[in-house]
Structure 1
Amino acid sequence: MSASISNGPRVAVVTGASRGAGKGIALALGQSGATVYVTGRSLRSSDSPYGGTVSETAALVDEAGGRGVPVAVDHADDDAVAELFARVGREHGRLDILVNNAASVVNTMSPGGFWEQPLEAADVMAVGLRSHYVASFHAAPLLIAGGRGLIVNTGHYGAVSYHLGPAYGAQKAGSDKMAADMAKDLRPHNVAAVSIWMGGLDTERARAHFATLPPEARPTARRESPQFTGRVIAALHASDDRMRLSGRTLIGAELGAHLGVTDIDGSAPLSLRYTLGGPPELHPSLY
């Protein structure tokens, strides 16, 4: 693995980073010394029952050794997304890493079929799938300008197993295929695109949900920290395997093991390939 990155500190955009996975990824990239544009809609902790704001995450990036830049962005607003990347272009002239993590996820774990759940569950195919495309569209010229780019769509085993209903599964599967197809177009420009499946994360939302369960029903297995995926992303961007792995859907725990990345407590997260499924094979036309 090569750790040499040209043009100074890396420049990254992490969408949906007020809390949860995005917050952890931004923090980990900050620990690698990156300048991280932190996007999200939350400007006040009261904006979400789980707390967190773009400014709080950006401040943590600063404390970690990077530079956090908070940007309030609704990823359903194409003009706001275009302005975000125009700002990155004005301030840096390039982008090294885009992490597409923003998603409008409605909890559909209540009893009943998808037709009995809020129709808003389908919004994840707008902010969560279409929004990934829009962000990548605007980011691509900056990634190409940087000469060594990486797009990561945060994924999950829900692409091949049942989690949170059909809309969530369609979003995750679509995000995987989007990364594969973008990788095909970007390969001549030394820009990689992958989807990384995260395991069960120790997020604010997860902790709040487990707190509502009776003690005997609460999971006891260790969960991945939100920072783990960010550590993996930083290592992948630096790795000589970056372009070889481009286009693939990768299980974060397996990619971490390959790159020698551990979680914040020194542990190695476990792959759930043999319990929840593994990524499908790509057609040769995508290589």
Structure 2
Amino acid sequence: MSGAAARPLSGQVCLVTGASRGIGKGIALQLSEAGGTVYITGRQREALEKTAAEVQGRGGRCVPVVCDSSSEEEVAALFERLKQEQAGRLDLLVNNAFSGVSALSKEMGTPFWESPPTLWDDINNAGLRGHYIFSVHAARLMVPAGRGLIVIISSPGGLRYMFDVPYGVGKAACDRLAADCAVELRSFGVACVALWPGLVRTESLEKEAEVQSGPVYEKLREKLPIIAESIEVSGKCVVGLATDPHIMQHSGKVMLSPELAQRYQFKDVDGKDVFNYISVRNILTELMPKLSVFFRLIPGFITIPKWVLALYSSKFSVYPPIQPLSLKSSKKA
């Protein structure tokens, strides 16, 4: 393989928010391996610099920048630095920052009317408003250049109820942010997409599964080794999108990690196939495990069409809404 083919992002400037750990770290690792100059942001300098050293070890250049995604001043300062150090060049922005993990875990199962209103800010300040702020600044560099890609990390929580109200609203808004930004950016040659990873083996998820008790976490511990993808799968997805000559055809759309694994023909870092969470075989096996021996006969590439997912999740759907597994007892008047 030629050097250009092995390092397709050589000479390109990338920015990944919330990259100290988890999905953001995995994305930065893959971008560096592809030869990109990768700026990474986070709020804790020590963790950020540790990740930067690991990212740089993959072959590209990594620049750690302490930046709170919810602070307009800090974000503006970061982009001023980009203008000075990279002559205003930015090829790729990945909006990944999310500061609501601990709050989400703490309030899990609590009805929204009994949760503190600050839960909304914990989940959506960095993870939605921050994405918008970063996208504004990125577009100001990309539009004059006539090229660029903005990726917004979202989740199936934008499709149907997941975890709680602020989370679902935030993820639905992330998907809409990608779609509407794409409309205004299209004529300038800049693409914007949302990316839905599957269940990801992040450090925080593995820790939660290990220390928490109850049937939900028991099932999670059982399923993690089978269906969870590594943090670098999202990175491989982003590299694929960033090097796709037909990326404008996908602008405004929601892209799924297993879908991109098939399109760009990659596997997880352990050599396994990326678990396809919209595969008919996998869905039926999950719903009716006792019949899994029969479902194995269904080819894995047969998936639920996206239009079916959209129809089922439509605001005008005739189907009943998904109910949470359990809510803590509501206080009675």
Match of 2:114 in 1: 116
1:60, 1:68 within 8 Å by CA — same for their partners in 2? Answer: no
SS, match of residue 45 in structure 2: coil
How far apart, CA to CA, are the structure 1 residues paired with 2:118 and 2:165?
A: 12
- With over 3 angstroms needed to count, the CA separation of the structure-2 counterparts of 1:7 and 1:226, relative to structure 1, is closer
Q: Does 1:70 align with 2:75?
A: no
| More relative contact order, 1 or 2 (CA 8 Å, 6+ apart) | 1
Q: Does 1:107 align with 2:101?
A: no
Bigger radius of gyration? 2
SS, match of residue 30 in structure 1: helix
SS, match of residue 64 in structure 1: coil
1:3, 1:239 within 8 Å by CA — same for their partners in 2? Answer: no
TM-score, scaled to structure 2: 0.76
Match of 1:285 in 2: none
Deviation at 1:43, TM superposition (A): 1.9
CA-to-partner distance for each residue in 1:17-76, whole Å, 9 max, x for gaps? 1111111111111111111111010123xxxxxxxx111111111101111100000111
Deviation at 1:94, TM superposition (A): 0.8
Paired residue for 1:40, among 39, 42, 48? 42
- With over 3 angstroms needed to count, the CA separation of the structure-2 counterparts of 1:7 and 1:171, relative to structure 1, is closer
CA-to-partner distance for each residue in 1:123-154, whole Å, 9 max, x for gaps? 12221111111001011122234443110000
CA-to-partner distance for each residue in 1:168-194, whole Å, 9 max, x for gaps? 011111000110111111111211000
How far apart, CA to CA, are the structure 2 residues paired with 1:96 and 1:72?
A: 21
How far apart, CA to CA, are the structure 1 residues paired with 2:276 and 2:233?
A: 13
What is the aligned-residue RMSD (CA, Å)? 2.4
How far apart, CA to CA, are the structure 1 residues paired with 2:99 and 2:212?
A: 24
- With over 3 angstroms needed to count, the CA separation of the structure-2 counterparts of 1:131 and 1:238, relative to structure 1, is same
Matches within 5 A, 1:10-49: 10-44=12-46
How far apart, CA to CA, are the structure 2 residues paired with 1:168 and 1:116?
A: 15
1:96, 1:146 within 8 Å by CA — same for their partners in 2? Answer: no
Q: Does 1:230 align with 2:235?
A: yes
2:19, 2:28 within 8 Å by CA — same for their partners in 1? Answer: yes
Give 2:55's aligned amino acid: V
How far apart, CA to CA, are the structure 2 residues paired with 1:78 and 1:8?
A: 30
Give 2:115's aligned amino acid: Q
Match of 2:50 in 1: 56
Matches within 5 A, 1:1-287: 8-44=10-46, 53-92=47-86, 93-105=88-100, 106-108=103-105, 110-123=108-121, 124-213=123-212, 216-217=218-219, 218-220=221-223, 221-273=226-278, 275=283, 280=310
How far apart, CA to CA, are the structure 1 residues paired with 2:72 and 2:261?
A: 33
Give 1:101's aligned amino acid: N
Deviation at 1:213, TM superposition (A): 4.0
- With over 3 angstroms needed to count, the CA separation of the structure-2 counterparts of 1:155 and 1:216, relative to structure 1, is closer
Aligned positions, number: 272
User: Which structure 2 segments of 5+ residues have no match?
Assistant: 287-303, 312-333
2:48, 2:64 within 8 Å by CA — same for their partners in 1? Answer: yes
Give 1:194's aligned amino acid: V
How far apart, CA to CA, are the structure 1 residues paired with 2:92 and 2:25?
A: 15
2:94, 2:151 within 8 Å by CA — same for their partners in 1? Answer: yes
2:227, 2:275 within 8 Å by CA — same for their partners in 1? Answer: no
How far apart, CA to CA, are the structure 1 residues paired with 2:9 and 2:199?
A: 35
SS, match of residue 57 in structure 2: helix
Moved more, 105-114 or 272-281: 272-281
Match of 1:50 in 2: none
Deviation at 1:253, TM superposition (A): 1.2
CA-to-partner distance for each residue in 1:229-248, whole Å, 9 max, x for gaps? 11111111111221100110
User: Which structure 1 segments of 5+ residues have no match?
Assistant: 45-52, 282-287
2:108, 2:163 within 8 Å by CA — same for their partners in 1? Answer: no
